[in-house]
Amino acid sequence: MELLYFGDKGWGDELLFATLMTIAVSITAMIIGFIFAALITPLKLSNNKILNTIGNAYTTVIRGVPELLVIYLFFFGGSGAIMFVASIFGYNDYIEINAFLTGSFSIGIISGAYSTEVFRGALQSIDKGQFEAAKVLGFNKYIYFFKIILPQMLRLAIPNLSNVWQITLKDTSLISVTGLVEIMRQSYIAAGSTRDPLFFYCFAAILYLMLTYISMKIINRLEIKYSRGY
């Protein structure tokens, strides 16, 4: 247990910060994923063939390729791409992008593909009459989307989004390969310097279990809130 003391003696405070980092990356990735989903879902539902293909290509490629490969693409390709853009504007020095941004962005793109599928499914299972009724009653676009369609969509989407959240949370462990100090990376460092990998990896597993357990409890509350009246 001494290994978990706070301060110089143990790894308690380091692991606590690492846990906070995991939570921060997961939330950022989830939000980036929502932004992607908000952009791609209309494409997937559109009648235009080209837009439709773009939307389908995004979800198919990301869901069919290992997360680790996507992370490597952004880890090795990210700064190259940014430097290329910067060189157009006449900036030729080496640019290193923050590991947090690369990590959240790559996990965000992955989680976005899953969220897109969830939103598409939820939108498609809303009764058609709801869309028609809202239009016939002459509501403006804001009320139409935010007060009528979105609440119904969320009720159907939240149970599946909770799965997406669990996947995202677990995927953040893969960012440790890029050197961002989250739970997995911190355990790797601690295991290396104390020569006690069994303890630290098991402790990492407990931390992840705690995170998934707590988030499940929170999501269950949301589920109840959004299924009022059903």
Partner 1 sequence: MDFDLMFTSFPKLLGATVVTLKLLSASLFFGLIIGFLFAILRLNKNIFINKFAYGYSYLFRGTPLLVQIFIIYFGLGQIEYLRSSFLWVILKEPYWCAIIAFTLNTGAYTSEILRSAFQTIKPEIIEAGKSLGISNKIIFYKIQIPIAIRQSLPAYGNEIILMMKGTSLASTVTLMDLTGVAKYIISTTFKPIEVFIVAGGIYLFMTFIIHNFIKYLEKKYSFSQ
Produce one character per residue of 12-38: b if its CB has 16 or more CB atoms within 10 Å, e if not. Answer: eebbeebbebbbebbebbbebbbebbe
150 vs 51: CA distance, rounded Å: 22
Question: Quick one: which of 67, 73, 74, 69 has its CA closest to 99?
Answer: 74
38 vs 205 by CB, closer to partner 1: 205
173 vs 153: CA distance, rounded Å: 30
Site size for partner 1 (CB under 8 A): 35
18 vs 22: CA distance, rounded Å: 6
- Identify residues 74-133 at the interface with partner 1 (CB under 8 A): 76-77, 80
Is residue 188 involved in binding partner 1 (CB under 8 A)?
A: yes
Is residue 67 involved in binding partner 1 (CB under 8 A)?
A: yes
Is residue 61 involved in binding partner 1 (CB under 8 A)?
A: yes
Residue from 12, 201, 222, 223 touching partner 1 (CB under 8 A): that is 201
Q: How many CB atoms within 10 Å of residue 175?
A: 29
Is residue 60 involved in binding partner 1 (CB under 8 A)?
A: yes
Is residue 170 involved in binding partner 1 (CB under 8 A)?
A: yes
Query: With CB under 8 A as the contact rule, which of the stretches 73-81, 86-94, 114-122, 142-150 interacts with partner 1?
Result: 73-81
Query: With CB under 8 A as the contact rule, which of the stretches 23-31, 44-52, 87-95, 188-196 interacts with partner 1?
Result: 188-196
68 vs 150 by CB, closer to partner 1: 68
DSSP-assigned letters across all residues of 70-97: HHHHHHHHHHHHHHHHHHHTT--S----
- Cα-based distances in Å from 170 to 31, 43, 167, 183, 229: 16, 28, 5, 11, 33
3-state secondary structure of 97: coil
Residue from 35, 39, 133, 205 touching partner 1 (CB under 8 A): that is 205
Is residue 179 involved in binding partner 1 (CB under 8 A)?
A: no
Chain residues binding partner 1 by CB under 8 A are 60-61, 63-69, 72-73, 76-77, 80, 170-171, 173-174, 176-177, 184, 187-188, 191, 196-198, 201-202, 204-205, 208-209, 212-213
